[in-house]
Structure formats: C-alpha cells, structure tokens
Amino acid sequence: MFAPVLYYTAPQGAAYAPDQLDDSDRTRLQHAPQLEQRADWRSSRALKQLLSQPRPPYSLTHKKGHAVLLTGAPVVGVDMEALWPRDFTNLLPWFANQAEQRWFNAQPDPALAFYRLWTFKEALLKALHADFADLPRLTADTPAPVGLHWQRYAWLLAGEWLVSAVLAAPTPLPPPRIIGTADVQHLPAYTATCA
C-alpha cells in the first residue's frame, strides 16, 4: 500500500548531511563543489536523505532555498513557485493552450491562477519524465501511464509557496500527508480540460 507524503523545508530548517549524499550527488559535488554553498542544494538533499534505501519513486523541486519532495505513489511529480508578480498575460502563450488561457482569463486572482496552472504542468512534466519543450502539450487531459489514474493536489505552503502535485496509482490513494510546515492552505488543483 502506498502512502503519499509531501516533505517541505525552508532553508533554515534543512538538516543537510554531506556524509549521507548518494553516489549520484557525490559525483555531482565532485564536479561542481560550489553546489554545496547553495541553499537549494542543501535543502533539497536534506529531503532526499529522509527517504529509505533503495529510494522509492520521488519528485523534488526547490526555489530560493525552500524545497519540496513528493513520494508515495508509483508515479509522482511536484513543483513549487513563490507567488511573485510577473507579466502573466505575456507568459501564458509560451506554455498554455487556448483553453488554458480562457480558463486563466476567467479566474479572479491572476497570480494564483497562473501559478496553479504553471506548477500543475511542471509537476506533470516531471511525473512523465517529459522534455521541457512538451510543456504546452501537457494538459489536464494528458493520460496517466497505462493502468494508472491521476490524482492532483495544490497547496499554499508557508504563506507564499504554491505547490502542485500529481500522483498516478492503480487505485485511489489518500491525499499526501504534509510534513515540515503547519502553515498549509489547501487549494483546488488545476483540472480544467481542453474540451
């Protein structure tokens, strides 16, 4: 039985342990030792170190020293963005189809709508191991891998981080348990179809 978990850490809460890096991260660090000075590296690796060995499927994202890791399903994807102002209208055509742009234009809060759509698509991209160039084609209608069914979630963590997660499993799973912050606002996940 799978039990989805979403781990969150802020830079100051990351318990980074260089001696617990996996082989892949040790190799990366040998080639780029400056990584160890980055808060993103330390926080994301601290979360990876929470997983048992061998590691179950997981998805990891980080920004400005904050990190989120999702695990607990055969297929997982997660993304996070801070709710910072941007030129949303000009960015949308770069990754959103016409139906998604119509959905965006009908939403009362442009920042929340933009980041719900963007993080959903990024989470889907990560779950499917797709290329970044595929982002415009990934939609709420994108099928799950054979024999699996999507579940979608969105939260606002610590008051500023919009996180979207997708999980695919053969049967419905409970919502992910969130560890690392008590400041959690549940949001509607992006589910608008292209029809």
Query: Residue 11: which pLDDT band, with cuts at 50, 70 and 90?
Result: confident
> Average of pLDDT values for 157-185?
94
- 3-state class of 23 per DSSP? helix
Whether the pLDDT of residue 2 is over 80: the answer is no
pTM: 0.94
Comparing 96-105, 130-139, 183-192, the range with the smallest average pLDDT is 183-192
Helix or strand run (H / E) with residue 69: strand 66-71
How many other C-beta atoms can be found within 10 angstroms of the C-beta atom of residue 60?
18
* pLDDT tens column, 53-110: 888 999 999 999 999 999 999 999 999 999 999 999 999 999 999 999 999 999 999 9
Distances (CA, A) of 110 to 86, 91, 117: 10, 12, 11
* pLDDT tens column, 111-123: 999 999 999 999 9
Whether the pLDDT of residue 13 is over 90: the answer is no
> Average of pLDDT values for 156-162?
92
Q: What is the pLDDT of residue 1?
A: 56
* CB environment 92-106: b (16+ within 10 A), e (fewer): beebbeeebeebbee
Q: What is the pLDDT of residue 195?
A: 55
Percent of the chain having pLDDT more than 70?
98
> Average of pLDDT values for 33-57?
92
